[in-house]
Amino acid sequence: MSAWRIVARGWRVFVPVVLINAVVQAATVAPALTPEPGAGFLALAAASFLAFSAASAAVAVAARAAVVGGRMPWPRWWVWFGSVLAVLAMTASALLSPIAVPFAAVLALVVMPGIAAGDGLAGVRVFARRPWRAILLSIGSLLSIVVLWVGALLLGFFITGAIAAFATWLVSGAIAVVLVGAWTSLVSETARAGHAQHGSRP
């Protein structure tokens, strides 16, 4: 199943998840709501982190549900755990070096579809079984993230505050959904081919 079919099947989940996350992220930087460093600041940072983690988990599970069919299940504990770790990795990379953030984001895109399917290494095995497609998708994902990053920086010169944050997270969320769909498609297709090769059912 292609990435676009996954997006089309899961839009009822993707659209509200992206919108809600964008609203939460914008609220955390709104001048009227942003306190001085302290307990309030930490609370807003925690809200931002949890909203991003929840959105990541929901999108990964919805993409998986679009592939296998049926209603979207509630994310299992390992999906929540993987999503939190992925967001932690991106946060830590931002603190170490902003240049590392796109690479951490690509790594999250690689592993989350497998985690949603209950196989954390499925995304890694794609590079062994379909190396060229995995490499090309990695490059495309990295370029997309870099373009979004540069676009967000340029937007900051003209629009600031909550409006800029909402627009950035809205566009970034939409692109992320497509990228998750692309990786979910590749991981699922690779897994089915592996099952067929070994004569077992997926």
pLDDT digits (tens, 9 = 90+) for 127-178: 999 999 999 999 999 999 999 988 888 877 777 778 888 999 999 999 999 9
- Residues 101-129 have a mean pLDDT of 93
- Residues 64-91 have a mean pLDDT of 91
| pLDDT 10s digits, 6-18 | 999 999 999 999 9
Residue owning tokens 């897994």: 191
- Residues 120-125 have a mean pLDDT of 89
| pLDDT 10s digits, 19-74 | 999 999 998 887 655 556 667 778 888 999 999 999 999 999 999 999 988 778 88
pLDDT at 187 over 90: yes
What pLDDT is recorded for position 29?
Answer: 83
Secondary structure of the chain as H, E, C letters: CCHHHHHHHCHHHHHHHHHHHHHHHHHCCCCCCCCCCCHHHHHHHHHHHHHHHHHHHHHHHHHHHHHHCCCCCCCCHHHHHHHHHHHHHHHHHHHHCHHHHHHHHHHHHHHHHHHHCCCCCHHHHHHHHCHHHHHHHHHHHHHHHHHHHHHHHHHHHHCCHHHHHHHHHHHHHHHHHHHHHHHHHHHHHHHHHHHHHCCCCC
pLDDT at 88 over 60: yes
> What letter represents residue 176's amino acid?
A
Tell me the pLDDT band of 111, cut-offs 50, 70 and 90: very high
pLDDT at 116 over 90: yes
